[in-house]
Amino acid sequence: MFNGMSITASALTAQRLRMDVVSSNMANAESTRAKLVDGEWQPYQRKSVVLQPKGNSFSSFLQMAQNSPEAGNGVKVTKIVEDTETPNKLIYDPEHPDANAEGYVSMPNVDPLREMVDLMSATRSYEANVTVFNASKAMMTKALEIGK
């Protein structure tokens, strides 16, 4: 009876973490001194959340669905990874304290437009899961009223 609510709650938690990571990315979009490596400051690296279903594999979920009307266990965050594939932006600013010998500053690889799209996606997913949670709660309430 509460399996659906548990699945929805796990999705709410995961989407909330996605929103937090996007907020962190936006807050550090100009951070040129995020990490000290070999005596040199490195700019902030964009982070993203990796989600995966709770449980084993798709085939196990398919088997459960065939045998049981309540299939699925929700979603979980497996890790938060740094985006090392997107290069840092180089900006010419010879007055900046972190400028190299040529006057270029290595800025974080955070794209505010991409972050806003990710934030909107996480927000919409969160809202959809709140709607599902409220619908489940309403159905359970109505089922309890039938028993009166």
Q: What is the pTM of this model?
A: 0.82
Query: Measured on CA atoms in the order 13, 75, 10, 135, is the torsion positive or negative?
Result: positive
Cβ(36)–Cβ(64) under 8 Å? Answer: no
pLDDT in tens, 131-147: 999 999 999 999 888 87
| pLDDT tier, 110 (very low <50, low <70, confident <90, very high otherwise) | very high
Burial class (CB in 10 A: 0-12, 13-18, 19+), 106: middle
* Confidence check: pLDDT of 57 > 90: no
Mean pLDDT over each residue of the chain, to the nearest integer? 89
pLDDT at 62: 67
pLDDT at position 63: 67
Residue 74: per-residue pLDDT = 86
Residues of the chain with pLDDT > 90, as a percent, come to 68
State yes or no: pLDDT of 69 exceeds 60: no
Alpha carbon separation from 93 to 50, 102, 103, 104 (Å, rounded):
35, 9, 6, 6
Two structure tokens written together for 114: 């991409």
Of 35, 22, 39, residue with least CA distance to 120: 22
